[in-house]
Chain A
Amino acid sequence: MASFISLCKLLLKLIIPTATIAILLLLIIIFALVFSHNATIPKFRRRGTPVHLLIVLGSGGHTTEMIYLLNKSLNTSVYTYRTYVVTSGDPFSATKAAEFEEGLIKLQQTNKKTDQPKSYDVITIPRARRVHQSYWTAPFTTLQALWACLLVLCGRYPKQKKLPWKFTSPHPDLIITNGPAVSVCMVLAAKILRFWIFISRWVTGQSSKPEVCRLRTIFVESWARITSLSTSGVLLLPLADRFLVQWPDLAGRRAWWGMKKTEHGGWMVL
Protein backbone atom coordinates (compact mmCIF):
# COMPACT_ATOMS: atom_id res chain seq x y z
CA MET A 1 0.00 0.00 0.00
CA ALA A 2 2.77 2.38 0.98
CA SER A 3 4.61 1.59 -2.21
CA PHE A 4 1.44 2.34 -4.19
CA ILE A 5 1.14 5.79 -2.60
CA SER A 6 4.77 6.60 -3.29
CA LEU A 7 4.29 5.48 -6.90
CA CYS A 8 1.34 7.86 -7.18
CA LYS A 9 3.43 10.67 -5.73
CA LEU A 10 6.20 9.95 -8.20
CA LEU A 11 3.75 10.00 -11.08
CA LEU A 12 2.30 13.29 -9.87
CA LYS A 13 5.79 14.74 -9.70
CA LEU A 14 6.42 13.61 -13.28
CA ILE A 15 3.09 14.73 -14.69
CA ILE A 16 3.37 18.38 -13.62
CA PRO A 17 6.71 19.11 -15.32
CA THR A 18 5.80 17.18 -18.48
CA ALA A 19 2.50 19.04 -18.72
CA THR A 20 4.29 22.35 -18.23
CA ILE A 21 6.81 21.51 -20.94
CA ALA A 22 4.06 20.36 -23.28
CA ILE A 23 2.06 23.56 -22.80
CA LEU A 24 5.19 25.67 -23.24
CA LEU A 25 6.03 23.84 -26.47
CA LEU A 26 2.50 24.30 -27.73
CA LEU A 27 2.66 28.03 -26.96
CA ILE A 28 6.00 28.31 -28.77
CA ILE A 29 4.59 26.51 -31.81
CA ILE A 30 1.46 28.69 -31.88
CA PHE A 31 3.53 31.83 -31.43
CA ALA A 32 5.95 30.77 -34.18
CA LEU A 33 3.05 30.05 -36.55
CA VAL A 34 1.41 33.44 -35.88
CA PHE A 35 4.77 35.18 -36.19
CA SER A 36 5.51 33.40 -39.47
CA HIS A 37 2.09 34.27 -40.94
CA ASN A 38 2.43 37.95 -40.10
CA ALA A 39 6.08 38.49 -41.01
CA THR A 40 6.75 40.58 -44.09
CA ILE A 41 8.99 38.97 -46.67
CA PRO A 42 12.21 40.96 -47.12
CA LYS A 43 12.75 41.94 -50.76
CA PHE A 44 16.24 40.74 -51.60
CA ARG A 45 15.62 38.67 -54.71
CA ARG A 46 16.79 40.20 -57.97
CA ARG A 47 14.85 39.59 -61.18
CA GLY A 48 16.57 37.26 -63.59
CA THR A 49 18.11 35.11 -60.90
CA PRO A 50 17.28 31.42 -61.25
CA VAL A 51 14.28 30.18 -59.30
CA HIS A 52 13.70 26.61 -58.18
CA LEU A 53 10.03 25.62 -58.03
CA LEU A 54 8.86 22.46 -56.29
CA ILE A 55 5.53 21.01 -57.38
CA VAL A 56 3.73 18.29 -55.47
CA LEU A 57 1.58 16.04 -57.65
CA GLY A 58 -0.93 14.33 -55.38
CA SER A 59 -2.69 11.76 -57.54
CA GLY A 60 -5.76 11.44 -59.78
CA GLY A 61 -7.76 14.65 -59.86
CA HIS A 62 -5.15 16.58 -57.88
CA THR A 63 -2.53 15.91 -60.52
CA THR A 64 -4.91 16.84 -63.34
CA GLU A 65 -5.74 20.11 -61.65
CA MET A 66 -2.10 20.90 -60.99
CA ILE A 67 -1.13 20.29 -64.61
CA TYR A 68 -3.99 22.53 -65.79
CA LEU A 69 -2.84 25.16 -63.33
CA LEU A 70 0.76 24.95 -64.55
CA ASN A 71 -0.46 25.13 -68.13
CA LYS A 72 -2.20 28.36 -67.31
CA SER A 73 0.23 30.03 -64.93
CA LEU A 74 3.75 28.63 -65.17
CA ASN A 75 6.23 31.10 -66.57
CA THR A 76 9.36 29.10 -67.36
CA SER A 77 11.48 32.22 -67.83
CA VAL A 78 11.01 32.92 -64.12
CA TYR A 79 10.77 29.40 -62.70
CA THR A 80 13.84 28.06 -64.40
CA TYR A 81 14.11 24.73 -62.59
CA ARG A 82 11.22 22.49 -61.56
CA THR A 83 11.17 19.55 -59.19
CA TYR A 84 8.08 17.36 -59.31
CA VAL A 85 7.32 15.18 -56.31
CA VAL A 86 5.04 12.19 -56.87
CA THR A 87 4.10 9.39 -54.51
CA SER A 88 4.83 5.71 -54.98
CA GLY A 89 2.07 3.61 -56.47
CA ASP A 90 0.93 6.46 -58.72
CA PRO A 91 2.44 5.94 -62.18
CA PHE A 92 0.15 8.45 -63.94
CA SER A 93 1.51 11.55 -62.17
CA ALA A 94 5.13 10.99 -63.15
CA THR A 95 4.06 10.45 -66.77
CA LYS A 96 1.91 13.57 -66.72
CA ALA A 97 4.80 15.64 -65.37
CA ALA A 98 7.15 14.33 -68.04
CA GLU A 99 4.55 14.96 -70.76
CA PHE A 100 4.05 18.51 -69.53
CA GLU A 101 7.80 19.18 -69.58
CA GLU A 102 8.16 17.65 -73.06
CA GLY A 103 5.44 20.05 -74.18
CA LEU A 104 7.41 22.96 -72.74
CA ILE A 105 10.55 21.89 -74.59
CA LYS A 106 8.62 21.66 -77.87
CA LEU A 107 7.12 25.09 -77.26
CA GLN A 108 10.58 26.53 -76.66
CA GLN A 109 11.89 24.99 -79.85
CA THR A 110 9.06 26.38 -81.96
CA ASN A 111 9.60 29.81 -80.42
CA LYS A 112 13.26 29.56 -81.54
CA LYS A 113 14.47 30.09 -78.02
CA THR A 114 17.84 28.80 -76.94
CA ASP A 115 17.67 25.09 -76.56
CA GLN A 116 17.77 24.53 -72.84
CA PRO A 117 18.75 21.22 -71.33
CA LYS A 118 16.01 19.42 -69.44
CA SER A 119 15.70 21.57 -66.36
CA TYR A 120 13.45 19.42 -64.26
CA ASP A 121 13.46 16.39 -62.02
CA VAL A 122 10.76 13.94 -60.96
CA ILE A 123 11.14 12.34 -57.54
CA THR A 124 9.05 9.50 -56.17
CA ILE A 125 8.63 9.41 -52.40
CA PRO A 126 6.75 6.88 -50.24
CA ARG A 127 3.07 7.45 -49.59
CA ALA A 128 1.90 8.86 -46.26
CA ARG A 129 -1.06 6.54 -46.13
CA ARG A 130 -2.06 4.01 -48.73
CA VAL A 131 -5.75 3.57 -49.50
CA HIS A 132 -7.22 1.11 -46.96
CA GLN A 133 -4.06 1.20 -44.83
CA SER A 134 -4.71 0.68 -41.12
CA TYR A 135 -4.79 3.80 -38.97
CA TRP A 136 -2.44 2.09 -36.51
CA THR A 137 0.46 2.01 -38.91
CA ALA A 138 -0.41 5.30 -40.62
CA PRO A 139 1.56 7.50 -38.16
CA PHE A 140 4.76 5.61 -38.95
CA THR A 141 4.35 5.81 -42.72
CA THR A 142 3.46 9.50 -42.36
CA LEU A 143 6.70 10.09 -40.44
CA GLN A 144 8.54 8.22 -43.16
CA ALA A 145 6.94 10.46 -45.79
CA LEU A 146 7.81 13.57 -43.74
CA TRP A 147 11.42 12.45 -43.54
CA ALA A 148 11.46 11.90 -47.31
CA CYS A 149 10.04 15.42 -47.79
CA LEU A 150 12.77 16.90 -45.59
CA LEU A 151 15.44 15.11 -47.63
CA VAL A 152 13.89 16.29 -50.91
CA LEU A 153 13.80 19.88 -49.68
CA CYS A 154 17.50 19.63 -48.81
CA GLY A 155 18.32 18.08 -52.18
CA ARG A 156 19.52 14.90 -50.54
CA TYR A 157 16.92 12.33 -51.49
CA PRO A 158 18.42 9.23 -53.14
CA LYS A 159 18.61 9.63 -56.93
CA GLN A 160 17.66 13.30 -56.75
CA LYS A 161 19.46 15.20 -59.52
CA LYS A 162 22.03 17.81 -58.66
CA LEU A 163 20.84 21.36 -59.24
CA PRO A 164 22.54 23.39 -61.98
CA TRP A 165 25.57 25.30 -60.69
CA LYS A 166 23.72 28.63 -60.82
CA PHE A 167 21.68 27.68 -57.79
CA THR A 168 23.40 28.66 -54.57
CA SER A 169 21.05 26.85 -52.21
CA PRO A 170 19.82 23.26 -52.22
CA HIS A 171 16.41 24.40 -50.98
CA PRO A 172 13.62 25.16 -53.46
CA ASP A 173 12.49 28.79 -53.53
CA LEU A 174 8.80 28.08 -53.80
CA ILE A 175 6.59 25.06 -53.16
CA ILE A 176 3.15 24.74 -54.72
CA THR A 177 0.73 22.01 -53.72
CA ASN A 178 -2.93 21.15 -54.04
CA GLY A 179 -2.92 17.52 -53.15
CA PRO A 180 -3.77 15.17 -50.33
CA ALA A 181 -1.67 13.96 -47.37
CA VAL A 182 1.68 14.30 -49.12
CA SER A 183 1.21 18.04 -49.52
CA VAL A 184 0.65 18.38 -45.77
CA CYS A 185 3.93 16.54 -45.19
CA MET A 186 5.74 18.74 -47.69
CA VAL A 187 4.48 22.05 -46.27
CA LEU A 188 5.17 20.88 -42.73
CA ALA A 189 8.69 19.85 -43.74
CA ALA A 190 9.24 23.29 -45.28
CA LYS A 191 8.04 24.96 -42.08
CA ILE A 192 10.32 22.80 -39.93
CA LEU A 193 13.31 23.55 -42.16
CA ARG A 194 12.59 27.26 -42.13
CA PHE A 195 12.30 27.21 -38.36
CA TRP A 196 15.63 25.40 -38.20
CA ILE A 197 17.26 27.91 -40.56
CA PHE A 198 15.81 30.80 -38.57
CA ILE A 199 17.12 29.44 -35.27
CA SER A 200 20.57 28.55 -36.61
CA ARG A 201 20.95 32.01 -38.17
CA TRP A 202 19.92 33.56 -34.90
CA VAL A 203 22.32 31.42 -32.90
CA THR A 204 25.26 32.14 -35.21
CA GLY A 205 24.46 35.84 -35.13
CA GLN A 206 23.61 36.12 -38.84
CA SER A 207 19.99 37.03 -38.37
CA SER A 208 20.46 40.58 -39.67
CA LYS A 209 22.43 39.51 -42.75
CA PRO A 210 20.27 39.93 -45.88
CA GLU A 211 19.17 36.59 -47.28
CA VAL A 212 16.71 35.63 -49.99
CA CYS A 213 13.79 33.80 -48.44
CA ARG A 214 13.20 30.29 -49.66
CA LEU A 215 10.86 27.39 -49.00
CA ARG A 216 7.75 29.56 -49.28
CA THR A 217 4.56 27.53 -49.68
CA ILE A 218 1.33 28.04 -51.62
CA PHE A 219 -1.63 25.71 -51.26
CA VAL A 220 -4.42 25.75 -53.83
CA GLU A 221 -7.65 24.17 -52.67
CA SER A 222 -9.19 21.78 -55.18
CA TRP A 223 -11.62 23.22 -57.70
CA ALA A 224 -14.04 20.51 -56.62
CA ARG A 225 -14.30 22.07 -53.16
CA ILE A 226 -17.16 24.54 -53.26
CA THR A 227 -18.58 24.84 -49.76
CA SER A 228 -16.15 22.99 -47.48
CA LEU A 229 -12.38 22.74 -47.20
CA SER A 230 -10.65 19.40 -47.71
CA THR A 231 -8.97 17.67 -44.78
CA SER A 232 -5.51 18.62 -46.04
CA GLY A 233 -6.81 22.15 -46.49
CA VAL A 234 -7.95 22.36 -42.88
CA LEU A 235 -4.59 21.01 -41.70
CA LEU A 236 -2.70 23.47 -43.89
CA LEU A 237 -4.67 26.57 -42.86
CA PRO A 238 -2.08 27.55 -40.21
CA LEU A 239 0.89 26.12 -42.13
CA ALA A 240 0.80 27.30 -45.75
CA ASP A 241 2.05 30.83 -46.47
CA ARG A 242 -0.66 31.39 -49.04
CA PHE A 243 -3.98 29.61 -49.22
CA LEU A 244 -5.89 30.10 -52.47
CA VAL A 245 -9.45 28.90 -52.99
CA GLN A 246 -11.39 28.81 -56.24
CA TRP A 247 -14.94 29.43 -55.03
CA PRO A 248 -16.05 32.57 -53.13
CA ASP A 249 -17.73 30.65 -50.29
CA LEU A 250 -14.36 29.43 -49.05
CA ALA A 251 -12.64 32.81 -48.92
CA GLY A 252 -11.81 34.51 -45.63
CA ARG A 253 -11.32 31.36 -43.55
CA ARG A 254 -8.42 31.16 -41.13
CA ALA A 255 -7.03 28.77 -38.55
CA TRP A 256 -7.49 31.10 -35.58
CA TRP A 257 -7.45 34.75 -34.65
CA GLY A 258 -4.43 36.63 -35.96
CA MET A 259 -3.72 34.23 -38.81
CA LYS A 260 -3.82 34.81 -42.55
CA LYS A 261 -7.12 34.29 -44.33
CA THR A 262 -7.79 32.20 -47.41
CA GLU A 263 -7.95 34.19 -50.64
CA HIS A 264 -10.39 33.76 -53.48
CA GLY A 265 -8.43 33.50 -56.69
CA GLY A 266 -11.17 32.56 -59.11
CA TRP A 267 -10.83 29.50 -61.30
CA MET A 268 -7.15 28.78 -61.53
CA VAL A 269 -7.45 25.49 -63.35
CA LEU A 270 -9.29 26.61 -66.45
Chain B
Amino acid sequence: MSGHSASRGGSAEPRAATPPTMMKLCLVTVGATAAFNTLISEVMDEPFFAKLRQTGFTHLIVQYGEDGKDTFHGFLEKHPEGDPALHGIGVGGFSLTADMHPYFMMAKNRTARNQELGLVICHSGTGTILEAIRHGLPMVVVPNPNLADNHQEDLARKVDELKWGIMGTIGNILEAIDKAEELRNEEPAVEEESVDSMNLAMEDELSFVD
Protein backbone atom coordinates (compact mmCIF):
# COMPACT_ATOMS: atom_id res chain seq x y z
CA MET B 1 0.00 0.00 0.00
CA SER B 2 3.05 2.23 -0.18
CA GLY B 3 2.39 4.34 -3.27
CA HIS B 4 -1.04 5.49 -2.34
CA SER B 5 -0.95 6.04 1.37
CA ALA B 6 -2.95 9.17 1.76
CA SER B 7 -1.17 12.45 1.40
CA ARG B 8 -3.58 14.82 2.94
CA GLY B 9 -1.06 17.48 3.89
CA GLY B 10 -1.20 20.93 2.44
CA SER B 11 -4.83 21.54 3.08
CA ALA B 12 -4.19 22.48 6.68
CA GLU B 13 -3.23 26.05 5.78
CA PRO B 14 -5.89 28.69 6.35
CA ARG B 15 -8.44 28.97 3.61
CA ALA B 16 -7.93 32.69 3.11
CA ALA B 17 -4.43 31.99 1.79
CA THR B 18 -5.72 29.97 -1.13
CA PRO B 19 -6.60 31.94 -4.23
CA PRO B 20 -10.28 31.95 -5.15
CA THR B 21 -9.58 30.08 -8.39
CA MET B 22 -8.60 26.89 -6.52
CA MET B 23 -10.98 24.08 -7.35
CA LYS B 24 -12.37 22.01 -4.51
CA LEU B 25 -14.47 19.18 -5.83
CA CYS B 26 -17.18 17.16 -4.15
CA LEU B 27 -17.69 13.89 -6.00
CA VAL B 28 -20.94 12.02 -5.41
CA THR B 29 -21.23 8.46 -6.71
CA VAL B 30 -23.91 5.78 -6.33
CA GLY B 31 -22.29 3.01 -8.37
CA ALA B 32 -23.84 0.84 -11.04
CA THR B 33 -25.43 -2.09 -9.26
CA ALA B 34 -28.34 -0.78 -7.22
CA ALA B 35 -30.47 2.32 -7.41
CA PHE B 36 -29.85 4.84 -4.65
CA ASN B 37 -32.16 7.69 -5.50
CA THR B 38 -32.58 8.87 -1.90
CA LEU B 39 -28.92 9.88 -1.87
CA ILE B 40 -29.31 11.77 -5.14
CA SER B 41 -32.39 13.66 -3.91
CA GLU B 42 -30.58 14.59 -0.71
CA VAL B 43 -27.63 15.93 -2.67
CA MET B 44 -29.64 17.76 -5.32
CA ASP B 45 -31.16 20.15 -2.82
CA GLU B 46 -30.59 23.75 -1.78
CA PRO B 47 -29.28 23.08 1.80
CA PHE B 48 -26.63 20.75 0.42
CA PHE B 49 -25.34 23.42 -1.94
CA ALA B 50 -25.33 25.93 0.91
CA LYS B 51 -23.23 23.51 2.95
CA LEU B 52 -20.80 23.00 0.06
CA ARG B 53 -20.42 26.76 -0.23
CA GLN B 54 -19.90 27.12 3.50
CA THR B 55 -17.16 24.45 3.55
CA GLY B 56 -15.32 25.99 0.61
CA PHE B 57 -16.27 23.69 -2.23
CA THR B 58 -16.42 25.10 -5.73
CA HIS B 59 -17.60 22.17 -7.83
CA LEU B 60 -19.92 19.18 -7.62
CA ILE B 61 -19.90 16.12 -9.87
CA VAL B 62 -22.65 13.54 -9.49
CA GLN B 63 -22.62 10.02 -10.89
CA TYR B 64 -26.32 9.36 -10.50
CA GLY B 65 -26.80 5.91 -12.03
CA GLU B 66 -29.62 4.71 -14.23
CA ASP B 67 -32.38 5.80 -11.91
CA GLY B 68 -31.15 9.16 -10.65
CA LYS B 69 -31.38 10.93 -13.98
CA ASP B 70 -34.76 12.59 -13.44
CA THR B 71 -33.90 13.83 -9.96
CA PHE B 72 -30.60 15.29 -11.12
CA HIS B 73 -31.82 17.01 -14.26
CA GLY B 74 -35.12 18.00 -12.66
CA PHE B 75 -33.30 20.05 -10.04
CA LEU B 76 -31.00 21.67 -12.59
CA GLU B 77 -33.96 22.63 -14.78
CA LYS B 78 -35.62 24.30 -11.83
CA HIS B 79 -32.40 26.02 -10.87
CA PRO B 80 -30.38 26.85 -13.99
CA GLU B 81 -26.81 28.12 -13.82
CA GLY B 82 -26.52 31.28 -11.77
CA ASP B 83 -29.57 30.48 -9.68
CA PRO B 84 -29.09 31.49 -6.02
CA ALA B 85 -30.05 27.97 -4.94
CA LEU B 86 -26.80 26.68 -6.43
CA HIS B 87 -24.74 29.08 -4.30
CA GLY B 88 -22.23 29.49 -7.11
CA ILE B 89 -21.25 25.82 -7.17
CA GLY B 90 -20.43 24.44 -10.61
CA VAL B 91 -22.46 21.27 -11.20
CA GLY B 92 -21.87 18.36 -13.54
CA GLY B 93 -23.23 14.86 -13.71
CA PHE B 94 -23.51 11.65 -15.68
CA SER B 95 -25.25 8.33 -15.42
CA LEU B 96 -22.50 5.74 -15.52
CA THR B 97 -18.95 5.27 -16.68
CA ALA B 98 -16.59 2.31 -16.78
CA ASP B 99 -13.70 4.44 -15.57
CA MET B 100 -14.15 6.77 -12.63
CA HIS B 101 -10.42 7.34 -12.32
CA PRO B 102 -10.24 10.82 -13.93
CA TYR B 103 -12.93 12.12 -11.59
CA PHE B 104 -11.06 10.89 -8.53
CA MET B 105 -7.96 12.62 -9.89
CA MET B 106 -9.90 15.89 -10.07
CA ALA B 107 -10.64 15.66 -6.36
CA LYS B 108 -7.00 15.16 -5.39
CA ASN B 109 -4.77 17.71 -3.76
CA ARG B 110 -2.66 18.92 -6.69
CA THR B 111 -1.38 22.46 -6.43
CA ALA B 112 0.09 22.35 -9.91
CA ARG B 113 -3.41 21.95 -11.27
CA ASN B 114 -4.96 24.44 -8.89
CA GLN B 115 -6.79 21.71 -7.05
CA GLU B 116 -7.52 21.51 -3.38
CA LEU B 117 -8.26 18.21 -1.66
CA GLY B 118 -11.92 17.42 -2.25
CA LEU B 119 -14.40 14.94 -0.87
CA VAL B 120 -16.12 11.77 -2.08
CA ILE B 121 -19.69 11.05 -1.03
CA CYS B 122 -20.52 7.50 -2.03
CA HIS B 123 -22.59 4.41 -1.51
CA SER B 124 -20.82 1.67 0.41
CA GLY B 125 -19.46 -0.06 -2.70
CA THR B 126 -16.12 -1.79 -2.55
CA GLY B 127 -14.76 -0.39 -5.79
CA THR B 128 -15.48 3.23 -4.95
CA ILE B 129 -14.14 3.02 -1.41
CA LEU B 130 -10.95 1.30 -2.53
CA GLU B 131 -10.41 3.93 -5.20
CA ALA B 132 -10.96 6.76 -2.73
CA ILE B 133 -8.47 5.21 -0.31
CA ARG B 134 -5.95 4.77 -3.11
CA HIS B 135 -6.18 8.45 -3.97
CA GLY B 136 -6.10 9.52 -0.34
CA LEU B 137 -9.47 11.23 -0.56
CA PRO B 138 -11.65 11.71 2.49
CA MET B 139 -15.11 10.29 2.06
CA VAL B 140 -18.60 10.16 3.43
CA VAL B 141 -19.88 6.61 3.02
CA VAL B 142 -23.63 6.19 2.98
CA PRO B 143 -24.81 2.56 3.12
CA ASN B 144 -27.87 1.89 1.01
CA PRO B 145 -30.66 0.99 3.45
CA ASN B 146 -32.64 -0.70 0.66
CA LEU B 147 -30.14 -3.51 0.31
CA ALA B 148 -31.05 -6.55 2.36
CA ASP B 149 -27.47 -7.60 2.88
CA ASN B 150 -26.01 -5.42 5.61
CA HIS B 151 -22.35 -6.11 4.96
CA GLN B 152 -22.25 -2.69 3.31
CA GLU B 153 -22.92 -1.19 6.69
CA ASP B 154 -20.07 -3.24 8.18
CA LEU B 155 -17.76 -1.79 5.61
CA ALA B 156 -18.97 1.78 6.18
CA ARG B 157 -18.42 1.39 9.91
CA LYS B 158 -14.90 0.10 9.27
CA VAL B 159 -14.13 3.09 7.06
CA ASP B 160 -15.30 5.33 9.90
CA GLU B 161 -13.28 3.43 12.49
CA LEU B 162 -10.05 3.55 10.46
CA LYS B 163 -10.59 7.29 9.83
CA TRP B 164 -10.66 6.82 6.07
CA GLY B 165 -13.96 8.64 6.11
CA ILE B 166 -17.22 9.25 7.88
CA MET B 167 -20.22 6.96 7.90
CA GLY B 168 -23.23 8.99 6.89
CA THR B 169 -26.90 8.19 6.71
CA ILE B 170 -29.67 9.65 4.63
CA GLY B 171 -30.78 12.75 6.52
CA ASN B 172 -27.49 13.61 8.21
CA ILE B 173 -25.15 14.09 5.26
CA LEU B 174 -24.66 17.77 6.05
CA GLU B 175 -23.26 16.95 9.50
CA ALA B 176 -21.15 14.21 7.94
CA ILE B 177 -19.55 16.76 5.62
CA ASP B 178 -18.56 18.87 8.63
CA LYS B 179 -17.03 15.83 10.29
CA ALA B 180 -15.19 14.91 7.10
CA GLU B 181 -13.76 18.43 6.99
CA GLU B 182 -12.25 17.87 10.43
CA LEU B 183 -10.96 14.50 9.31
CA ARG B 184 -8.86 15.86 6.47
CA ASN B 185 -6.20 17.11 8.84
CA GLU B 186 -5.84 13.71 10.43
CA GLU B 187 -3.62 10.94 9.17
CA PRO B 188 -5.77 7.91 8.37
CA ALA B 189 -4.75 4.54 9.76
CA VAL B 190 -2.71 2.74 7.13
CA GLU B 191 -2.28 -0.98 7.31
CA GLU B 192 1.38 -1.90 7.36
CA GLU B 193 2.99 -3.13 4.19
CA SER B 194 2.27 -6.84 4.34
CA VAL B 195 3.89 -9.72 2.54
CA ASP B 196 2.33 -10.49 -0.79
CA SER B 197 0.23 -13.31 0.64
CA MET B 198 -1.63 -13.86 -2.61
CA ASN B 199 1.54 -14.49 -4.57
CA LEU B 200 2.82 -16.80 -1.83
CA ALA B 201 -0.42 -18.79 -1.85
CA MET B 202 -0.33 -19.03 -5.64
CA GLU B 203 3.28 -20.30 -5.69
CA ASP B 204 2.44 -22.77 -2.91
CA GLU B 205 -0.37 -24.24 -4.94
CA LEU B 206 1.85 -24.63 -8.00
CA SER B 207 4.31 -26.55 -5.78
CA PHE B 208 7.60 -26.05 -7.57
CA VAL B 209 10.56 -28.36 -7.10
CA ASP B 210 12.89 -26.31 -4.96
Contacts and interface: CB of A to CB of B under 8 A. Distances in A.
B202 A176 contact: yes
A95 B97 CA distance: 12
Chief secondary structure at chain A's binding surface: loop
A225 B155 CA distance: 7
A139 B198 CA distance: 32
B201 A60 contact: no
Interface stretch (A10-18, A66-74, A162-170): A66-74
A151 interface: no
Nearest to A220: B198
Contacts of A96: 98
Contacts of A241: 205
Nearest to B131: A64
B32 A266 contact: no
B208 A45 contact: yes
Interface of B: 1, 4, 31-33, 98, 124-127, 129-130, 133-134, 151-152, 154-155, 158, 191, 194-199, 201-210
Contact of A45 (B155, B191, B197, B207): B207
A37 to B, nearest CB: 13
Chief secondary structure at chain B's binding surface: helix
B197 A268 contact: yes
A263 B197 CA distance: 10
A234 interface: no
Given A41-B205, A218-B198, 6 more contacts: A41-B204, A44-B207, A47-B209, A60-B127, A61-B126, A92-B98
A73 B130 contact: no
B104 to A, nearest CB: 13
Contact of B130 (A41, A60, A223, A263): A223
Contacts of A228: 151, 154
26 contacts: A41-B207, A44-B207, A47-B208, A51-B206, A61-B127, A64-B126, A64-B127, A69-B198, A72-B198, A73-B196, A95-B98, A174-B206, A218-B201, A222-B126, A223-B126, A224-B129, A224-B155, A226-B158, A230-B151, A242-B204, A244-B197, A244-B198, A266-B197, A267-B194, A268-B197, A270-B191
